[in-house]
Amino acid sequence: MSCLRPSSLLCIAAFFLTATAGAAETYHYQPEAVTLNGQVSVQTFDGPPGYGDGPDDQQVKVAVLELDSPITVVPSAGVDINDPDAQEEDNVTDMQVLNPDNIDLPEGCYALSGTLMHQVNADHYTPVLLQLKSASAASTCH
């Protein structure tokens, strides 16, 4: 059995440090509360009736949070395998903001708090959505 030279050990250590340095932060779907930072913008998507399949489709404007850095979203403990929230999503960079309480949210930099859910129907335009509970302005983003 041969021993590794110190220079080999340094290369191995540098590889593992580099591989983990860029790892995305991991969050869970609802009911876990999260706070995410980024730029809120209004984006236009194809809506009903065909959601992109026909010329008569409505153009729907929705709030989208463009995250400061990518995240991974994983199922919460005990979620049923058939639940949409059982789907892991990696490298999430943006998400639709659901705003049931109609919180004032003009375009800009924010720290948004709420819960995450997976896309369930055609009115959900990103794989992961944030159900907004509160918003506070952030001085910088991206």
What is the number of domains present in the chain? 1
49 inside domain: yes
pLDDT of residue 45: 94
In this predicted model, what pLDDT tens digit does every residue of 107-134 receive, in sequence order?
999 999 999 999 999 999 999 999 999 9
Mean pLDDT value of segment 11-38:
74
- What distances in angstroms separate CA 128 from CA 54, 84, 85, 87, one per listed residue? 25, 10, 9, 10
CATH classification at residue 54 = 2.40.50
58 inside domain: yes
29 inside domain: yes
Sorting pLDDT into bands at 50, 70 and 90, what band is 4?
low
pLDDT of residue 54: 87
Residue 15 predicted with pLDDT over 70: no
Q: Which residues pair with 113 in a beta bridge?
A: 35, 134
108 inside domain: yes
Report if pTM > 0.85. no
6 inside domain: no
In this predicted model, what pLDDT tens digit does every residue of 50-97 receive, in sequence order?
998 889 999 999 999 999 999 999 999 999 999 999 999 999 999 999
Q: Of 95, 117, 94, 97, give the one whose Cα is nearest residue 105.
A: 97
- Find the domain containing 95 and state its range: 24-137
